[in-house]
Structures are given as structure tokens and as C-alpha cells.
Amino acid sequence: MDTKNKGFNTKLVHAGAYEEHFGSVVTPIYQTSTFAFKNARHGADCFAGKSDGYIYTRIGNPTVKAFEDAMAELEHGFGGIATSSGMSAVSSVYMALLGQGKHIVCSASVYGPSRGILERDFSRFGVEMTFIDTSDLEQIKNAIKENTTVLYIETPTNPTMQITDIEKASEIAHKHGVTVVVDNTFSSPYLQNPLVLGADAVLHSITKYINGHADVVGGVIVTKEEELFKKIKASMVYLGGNMDPHQAFLTHRGLKTLSIRMEKAEENAMKVAEFLENHPKVDWVLYPGLKSHPQHELAKKQMKGFSSMISFGLKGGIEAGITVMDNVHLAALAVSLGGVETLIQHPASMTHAGMSKEAREKAGITDGLVRFSVGIENAEDIIEDLKQAMDKI
Ligand SMILES: *Cc1c(COP(=O)(O)O)cnc(C)c1O
């Protein structure tokens, strides 16, 4: 079905065509590593790109392609590249766009490993890097150098919830011929379309909102133009970071309910954020949907909603954080986010415990900071769970 001129929900359900067999309503799982050519000529044409036939699953697979096409349409891009994980998407983009003597400007508080692989690995290959607060456009202007090739933005950031103006940041970068890449994991295409706002490539950890059911790890990249698509796709294929057909099947199934899941999660998140903001044991709450969020107006302009990630600070520091973690029952004590189930995490004692307190504070990760991924359960139950856990502080 041609979904080009249809609404977002119709695209969610129907985008991503495949050649159907036996009237199958859903894209089948083509669980095969390789594809037989009809004859030598057909094989030659496939390799020369003169035929759109499949060759080998690391290069392409019909189940994966259906998901890639759906994502490309939802993000308004030229094409999608599905990957084995979100980090595989990030690495493929870096691999394609960076090299000896090249420079990347990156949001300082991006997803840990997105920064880690630059500092740990790409630095060894002679890549230069500057980490800044990209929500401050002046810092972007000052950080771009002669050899800058990439501006890498995450918005909102994790777990500090800073929001970067994608349109303005892209204008600045493009004046210097810099490619703009946006990690859109926290918003999903339902809430934010970076390519429409001016970015050149968008990527997701589909592990989060897009799959939404905490049962798949995966990633995807969508580029605006064909040239960049080919460049990144080649790096992904050489790195071997492809998505598996079964992963693609599950993810495409999750994708179809993206908007109804996000609507419910956001509705719950707003209630939870308001509850927290009025709680005596809570120092501060960061949720883009609250008027108190420093970039609430920008969030309203750039996003169609505020997603369901909340960071809040407990009075009583690390001890208070541990008490809450040990006493929640409905919220699962787990990393990751964006699933139907509510998850809670305490960075100071968990994901960021390896950092010194000083380094954490510098990154805005205070001892009492709790990260909360609001699910689609009943809001009253989520709030009651938090309330009884905080009573124990
Ligand atoms: C989880 C996450 C990633 C990495 O994705 P994986 O699927 O875990 O490899 C990248 N960016 C953001 C914002 C994330 O939340």
C-alpha cells in the first residue's frame, strides 16, 4: 500500500512494503543468511546494483528492509539502515564520517558509550573531539573548526534533559559544511523529526520507544540524502553491524503501536512529574512538559509532545536514592527506557558509580538524581508505588 500521503498512524501500521506471498498480512521473517541468484547474469546484476535482488543478509534482507523503509518514511528521509544495536548505529555513523585529522563536536551529556567510543577508540585513530553543551548555540559556533566534519546532537539529553534547537544548530553547522547527526531515541519520530528541522541524519536505539517492549536490542539510521545513505550503509556493512531478520520482525511489530504507547506514557509522565514537583522530599524535577523546565518553550516548538522520561532530585542524596530503589515494587529497577513497563534507575549508585563524585556533579548527575522511564500502566499505580517508596526515606 502506498502510504506516502497518509497520516502518521496509517504509516506506522502500513509503511514498509515487501513482496507478499500467500497474502501474508505481516512481513514474514526471511530467516536466511544468503539468497540464491536465478543465474550468473542475475548474480552479476545484483552485485552491480542493477537489480534490487538480495545477496546476503549482512548487506540486506526483505524483513529488515520493510522495517528500514517504514523508518525512512516516518523520519522523512531517503533511506533507513537498521543495525544490531543503537551503538552499532552510532559507530557506523562515526566510522563513515570521521577519520585521521577530522574533528567532531558532540553534546557533552550524550548517551555514555556514544561519547565513550570517541574518547576510547576514535581518539586512537587521530580523531579530534570537543564536548560542549549543544543547547547553548554560542558554544556550537565557538567549537566548530576548519577540520570539523560532524555535529552530533542528542536532544533531550540523558539524564539531564537539556534540549538543543535542531533547526538553529543545523543552520550554524551547515554554514561550515558540517554534517548534522541527531540521536532521536528519547523522542521517536512520533514527537520529533530532526531531518525536517534541518539535520542530515537521524539515529535511534530502537531498543527504547520504537520497539517499546523491552525484548529487542537494535538501532536504525535514516539519512536525508542518497549520498550520505550510501556512505553510512557501506560502513555498516563492512563493520558487520546489521540487524537480524528476527529482530526486525519484532521491532516492526512494536513500531505499529508507537503512537498509542507514547500518548499513554506521556499522559502518565505528566501526572507523575506533577506529583513529584509537589512532593516535599523532592528537590527538583526535570521534565520537558513542565513549565519549570528551562527549555519548555523550545520543547513545545520542536517536539509534538514531551515523551515519558523524567529526572528528579531527592533530598537526602545517595542514601535517599538507594532507599527508593529498594522499596519500589511496580517500577523495575533497571537501565534502558521507553518500554511499556515503568523503569527506575539511580545513576550515582548504578550506571555512573564508576565516575568520581566530582565528575558526576560536573555532568549534572547529582547523588540524589533518579531517572524514571514512565510506562503505560495506570498512572495512579505508578504514583502510589513512588509515594510509598519515598515515605521510607
Ligand atoms: C540506549 C541508547 C543508545 C544505545 O543503544 P543500544 O541499543 O543500547 O545499543 C544510544 N542513545 C541513546 C539516547 C540511548 O538511550
Other Cβ atoms within 10 Å of 318 Cβ, number: 17
CA distance 64 to 71: 11
Residue nearest to atom 2 of ligand 1 (CA): 205
Atom of ligand 1 nearest to the CA of 186: 13
Best probe residue, ligand 1, of 107, 186, 208 (max atoms within 8 Å of C-beta): 208
Residue nearest to atom 7 of ligand 1 (CA): 86
Provide the pLDDT for residue 38.
Answer: 95
Give the residue ranges of DSSP H helices in the chain: 8-14, 40-48, 62-74, 86-97, 112-120, 137-143, 166-175, 188-191, 194-197, 226-239, 245-255, 258-277, 296-302, 317-327, 357-362, 379-391
Ligand 1: list residues with CB < 6 Å: 85-87, 111, 114, 154, 158, 183, 185-186, 205, 207-208, 217, 219
Best probe residue, ligand 1, of 88, 93, 107, 111 (max atoms within 8 Å of C-beta): 111
Provide the pLDDT for residue 109.
Answer: 84
Q: Which residues of the chain have pLDDT under 50?
A: none
Provide the pLDDT for residue 360.
Answer: 79
Amino acid at 325: M
Residue carrying the nine cell digits 519500589: 328
Give catalytic status of residue 45 as yes or no: no
pTM: 0.96
Out of 69, 165, 183, 385, the active site residue is 183
Exposed, middle or buried: residue 359 (CB in 10 Å: 0-12, 13-18, 19+)? exposed
Provide the pLDDT for residue 103.
Answer: 98
Instruction: Identify the DSSP state of 156.
Output: S
Give catalytic status of residue 256 as yes or no: no
State how far the alpha carbon of 359 is from the alpha carbons of 136, 285, 367, in Å: 20, 21, 11
Give catalytic status of residue 360 as yes or no: no
Provide the pLDDT for residue 159.
Answer: 83
Provide the pLDDT for residue 36.
Answer: 96
Other Cβ atoms within 10 Å of 71 Cβ, number: 27
Out of 208, 224, 231, 360, the active site residue is 208
- Residues with Cβ within 8 Å of 38's Cβ and at least 6 positions away in sequence, in order, are none
Domains and CATH numbers, the chain: 8-255 (3.40.640.10), 258-390 (3.90.1150.10)
Provide the pLDDT for residue 349.
Answer: 84
Are the C-beta atoms of residues 151 and 105 closer than 8 Å to each other? yes
Give catalytic status of residue 111 as yes or no: yes
Residue nearest to atom 11 of ligand 1 (CA): 111
Taking the centre of ligand 1 as the mean of its atom positions, its distance from the CA of residue 217, in whole angstroms, is 9
